[in-house]
Structure 1
Amino acid sequence: MAGTATPAASSWHGNVPKPNPRPDHAELRVSNQDREQVVDHVKAAYAEGRLDRFEFDDRLERAMTARVHGDLTPIMDELYGAHPAGPGSYPPVMSRVATGRHLDGRADTGGERVGAAAAHLLPLTGLLAIGPLIMLLTAGRTSPYVRKHAVEALNFQLTMLGATILLTITFVGVVLTPLLWIGGLVLSVVGGLAALGEGNFRYPFTLRLVK
């Protein structure tokens, strides 16, 4: 159901390459900002009625799990039609008022902030890595803000579990494990408060296995 649109005069301000990118460009890794910009275009197309729910979910999932530029370009082609290589432009994404989202991935509603905070605080209930994973697979599918915090919390909990397994091998490690988890609980609370305040938070000493 994805329709085509005539490119506007102003360029789409993103780092996603024009269609038919050079092979070396297509293989470059994308940043979170690149993904979020394409997500904004997908949400705008859905709000305009150019995508049905299935198409929206499919393109949103592909955009949020993209690893290289070559993964993002086909999504933009499907939204606006294929463009020849070389100079060109996509229509600018709709404003925050129209899409209901900040273009820089910040939370636009209190619900998003609560969801992001829950990703940090659910481990305090004993859910550990399961809590952030639940938020990632539910609210994180449609909110870049929740996804950002859920991924960070999930990576931290996985790191904590791995460190606990390694520490229990030695007697000294067994003694240090309770201190490790006390520190982890404090950091989870700090992360939750940061998410409620619409801020960014990165856990120290964390292996970021999930992107």
Structure 2
Amino acid sequence: MPEELKPKDVARYRLRPMMASAVVVLGAATALAACGDSSDDAANGSAKTKAAATTTAPAATTAAPAATAAQPAATDPNAPPAVGTKAKAWSDAGTVRLAPVWLGTPGTLSVKPNGNVDTSVKYYRYEHWYPKGTKVTVTAHNGKASRFAEWAGACSGKDPVCAITMDGFKRTIAGFSFDKKRAKGLSSKDPAMKPGTGGA
């Protein structure tokens, strides 16, 4: 999925977004140093003279902790992978991308013209690149157990056909609802019955 979907869009079609978290625990150690005093009494002839000699124990020293190797920066397990070399070249050349996705009970999307697609990185296989000003049509098609409900993102309304002018990055979201009549006769284990998300 090229872009993170808004929670309200996900909730609308009964999807549960996956969540992941990482916890790093740091520890510290403390050393204490102690010092003590001692005194002696001495007698000299018939005159008793009291002499007190005080010695102070040298301050305890602690060895400097061994230098630790620099820890590598923590990486986010949910961070998207680096884009492919083709997509990077297209971006550097000034072309813009379209990310058409669907969510809900499975449906399909078609994009015309198809534009450039970099399939070398699976994560970005649903991104289409176009020169600025290109007119693109994204069409939502009902699934075996679904019907198109409405658009979100760069498209809006309930018309399954959406026309876009590529003047910058565009993300279209097609929402599909479960259709009991279309689903008649399908097994509950059929992939067409399982809500999800995908692209074109």
Q: What is the TM-score with the length of structure 2 in the denominator?
A: 0.20
- Flag the structure with higher strand content: 2
Pair member with larger Rg: 2
Task: Report the TM-score, using the length of structure 1 for normalisation.
Answer: 0.20
By percentage of residues, which structure has more helix? 1
